[in-house]
């Protein structure tokens, strides 16, 4: 069962990395076209800044899935690294559980806002782009992060007394 789950995670990571890359490339392309237009033709794209911002939101909240899977989130662990191994492991697990709880809270609190944006068909000013799309990326990204961290925790080998702690 775990092998099937890991295959699903690999597929999900491929999809989210691809989406993140596409968002980043699209943002760079829009910026490049806008720069050329502005400096060579004295014409800029009025909606470029808005769309680039939305693409960056998409890039970050799809790209965060790979970070969560690899456990490379930013951590304030200067003091924790000086603690004994068992205490470090406890704080590492606690950190992961807090991340999952925070992601769940953000998701729960974000969905009513997303539903209102969709119901009222709120759109951005310059691009007339539906705001529900970039706003929905936030709880979607957090939900995927929480799921990936949970799967990573389930894959974690249980440490028997005297087992080598360097294995991850």
The pLDDT value recorded for residue 51 is 97
DSSP 8-state secondary structure symbol assigned to residue 72? -
Does 13 have pLDDT greater than 70?
yes
- Residues facing 129 on adjacent strands: none
pLDDT digits (tens, 9 = 90+) for 15-70: 999 999 999 999 999 999 999 999 999 999 999 999 999 999 999 999 999 999 99
Q: Which residues of 11-42 are buried (b: 16+ CB within 10 A; e: fewer)?
A: ebbeebeebbeebbebbeebbeebeeeeeeee
CA distance 153 to 93: 8
CA distance 56 to 35: 18
The pLDDT value recorded for residue 158 is 56
Backbone angles phi, psi at 108, to 5 degrees: -60, -45
Does 155 have pLDDT greater than 60?
yes
pLDDT digits (tens, 9 = 90+) for 114-148: 999 999 999 999 999 999 999 999 999 999 999 99
Residue identified by tokens 């775990």 is 2
Residue identified by tokens 């304030």 is 76
pLDDT digits (tens, 9 = 90+) for 70-102: 988 887 788 888 899 999 999 989 999 999 999
Closest CA to 110 of 57, 168, 43, 53: 57
Grade residue 166 by pLDDT with cuts at 50, 70 and 90.
very low
Tell me which H or E stretch contains 41.
Answer: helix 2-41
The pLDDT value recorded for residue 39 is 93
């Amino acid at each position: 069962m775990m092998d099937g789950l890991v295959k699903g995670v690999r597929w999900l990571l491929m999809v989210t990395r691809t989406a993140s890359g596409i968002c980043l490339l699209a943002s760079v392309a829009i910026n490049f076209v806008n720069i050329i237009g502005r400096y060579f033709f004295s014409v800029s794209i009025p909606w470029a800044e808005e769309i680039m911002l939305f693409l960056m939101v998409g890039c970050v909240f799809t790209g965060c899935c790979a970070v969560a899977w690899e456990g490379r989130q930013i951590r304030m662990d200067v003091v924790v690294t000086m603690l004994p191994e068992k205490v470090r492991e406890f704080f590492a697990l606690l950190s992961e559980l807090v991340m999952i709880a925070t992601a769940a809270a953000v998701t729960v609190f974000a969905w009513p806002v997303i539903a209102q944006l969709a119901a009222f068909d709120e759109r951005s000013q310059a691009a007339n782009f539906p705001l529900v799309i970039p706003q929905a990326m936030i709880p979607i990204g957090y939900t995927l992060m929480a799921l990936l961290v949970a799967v990573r925790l389930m894959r974690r080998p249980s440490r028997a007394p005297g087992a080598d702690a360097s294995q991850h």
